[in-house]
Structure 1
Amino acid sequence: MRRQLTDTATEMFLERGFDAVPISEIAEACGVSEKTVFNYFPTKESLVLDLPDTVMAVLRTDLAEPDRTPVEAVLRILAEDLNAMISWLEAQDDKAWASAAVRRFSLLIMSTPSLRAHQREMLERLIAVAAEVLAERAGLGPQDPEPQIAATALLGLWPVQLHAWGKYLDGIRTPAQVRDAITADVHRAARLLETGLATFADNARPPNATDTAVRT
């Protein structure tokens, strides 16, 4: 039912626009009540962009892994997302149609203010989770500046990957070429973070009293 609702809603939004399709029509098309729709998705925006608990759990688990740097953990998660999407593209008989469908989906999000706002809200939730885990790794509080800026920088790799989709999914490149090009962009961005974050737990520590003294 969850998949049916989101697939039906997305198809209707792509055809007519997000704001033009009421929840009641989506419910009717799926043969359920509006209440059922909201039982699965708390908002209209979440029908298009959802953040399952499993994603949050994976982020927590991977960032907490002591044998991985924070950058390596996030790159692993992004690579799995990318590979899943590339596998879907490769499975389609009409690669041009599939590429166009993904581009239309991206355009739907970029052209709808409420969807862009929802996307930012999801990213903020992920940043909060990352800051909590990174703070624990470094023996700091999640509101301390080091885990806050580290989490914000790490989660900035998500938009990099999303933007790369729009740049390389042109209907000309093969799915494998798209994957390689997107991966290269994400890794270029990640290299900027590696030096500072690779030793995050060693370098992040609360300042001492003399560091924070206010001189009058």
Structure 2
Amino acid sequence: MSETAVTWRPDGAAGDEPGGLRERKKRQMRARLSATATRMFLERGFDDVRVTEIAEACGVSERTVFNYFPTKESLLLDRFDDTLSALRTALADPASGPLPAALGVLDTETRGLQAWLAQQPDPAAASATLRRFRELSISTAELRAHQHDMTDRLTTTVARLLADRAGVTAPEAHIAAVALVGLWRVQGASLQRHLGEHHPPERLGVLVSADVRLAAALIEPMFRRFG
């Protein structure tokens, strides 16, 4: 499949880091803005919703929306920075190889989504919403371009981390980074496929993780030199 990875997760699908009241309020506002925008985009289409309408629905100014999200696209696809931060932390651990580190981040994301689905009163309807989200994200030109840009950013950062970690050349590190970041594409495609099969949340998590690990096994030889 040609689409890039989609890292959006529903509000509450991943646990927030603890923090003070101000930080919690900021996270809550960010989640509210993203959830409201996502609902409106799914109902009416990405191009037919203006940022001013999202702001009005949340009772804030348009400027406030852009204080949290730099672009309209990032309102829907808002988790690249979370993935990047988690990968930075995981790859900085010398006790874990790059591939196990990436799999740990992917597992956390899959478990978060699985837990969110399990909490929904109608898991089938929730699964249908996730499928519609993915279809919207790969059928809208602006969203596809945003995903490609963010994936390039993620790949560049991972390549730099791998090069620093193992002392390899830039081309080698970039090739490995492309393969590593590609696991998120596998995760997204697997999720879309298995959501359509109406599995219970716990089974969905098992199937998606199995697909990701199959892909990881295929690229494992190239990471032996990275420690």
- TM-score above 0.5: yes
Query: In the alignment, which of 110, 115, 123 is matched to residue 87 of structure 1?
Result: 115
Say whether residues 1:145 and 2:171 are aligned partners: yes
Paired residue secondary structure (2:71): coil
1:210 is aligned to none
Cα distance in structure 1, aligned partners of 2:82 and 2:212 = 23
Say whether residues 1:74 and 2:108 are aligned partners: no
Distance 1:53 1:158, change over 3 A: closer
Give the aligned length.
199
2:219 is aligned to 193
Alpha-carbon RMSD: 1.4
1:156 is aligned to 182
Cα distance in structure 2, aligned partners of 1:191 and 1:199 = 15
Cα deviations across residues 59-103 of structure 1 (Å, max 9, x unaligned)? 112112222121111111000000000000011121111111111
Cα deviations across residues 136-161 of structure 1 (Å, max 9, x unaligned)? 112246xx111111111100000100
The one-letter code sitting in structure 2 at the alignment partner of 1:154 is L
TM alignment of 1:15-164, pairs within 5 A? 15-51=43-79, 53-140=81-168, 144-164=170-190
Greater shift in the superposed pair: 15-24 or 118-127: 118-127
The one-letter code sitting in structure 2 at the alignment partner of 1:170 is G
1:166 is aligned to 192
> 5+ unaligned residues in a row in structure 1: which ranges?
202-216
Quote how far apart the aligned CAs of 1:171 are: 5.5
The one-letter code sitting in structure 1 at the alignment partner of 2:43 is E
Quote how far apart the aligned CAs of 1:125 are: 1.3
> Which structure ranks higher in relative contact order (CA pairs < 8 Å, sequence separation ≥ 6)?
2
Say whether residues 1:183 and 2:209 are aligned partners: yes
Greater shift in the superposed pair: 187-196 or 81-90: 187-196
Cα deviations across residues 32-61 of structure 1 (Å, max 9, x unaligned)? 111111111110000000246443232112
1:7 is aligned to 35
Contact in 2 for aligned 1:131/1:148 (Cα 8 Å):
yes
Q: Once the two structures are aligned, what percentage of the paired residues are identical? A: 50
Cα distance in structure 2, aligned partners of 1:54 and 1:110 = 21
Q: Which runs of structure 1 show a deviation greater than 3 angstroms over 4 or more consecutive aligned residues?
A: 51-55
The one-letter code sitting in structure 2 at the alignment partner of 1:18 is F
Quote how far apart the aligned CAs of 1:135 are: 0.5
> 5+ unaligned residues in a row in structure 2: which ranges?
1-28
TM-score normalised by L of structure 1: 0.88
Cα distance in structure 2, aligned partners of 1:4 and 1:196 = 41
TM-score normalised by L of structure 2: 0.83
Contact in 1 for aligned 2:166/2:225 (Cα 8 Å):
no
The one-letter code sitting in structure 2 at the alignment partner of 1:189 is A
Contact in 1 for aligned 2:80/2:150 (Cα 8 Å):
no
Q: Between Structure 1 and Structure 2, whose CA radius of gyration is higher?
A: 1
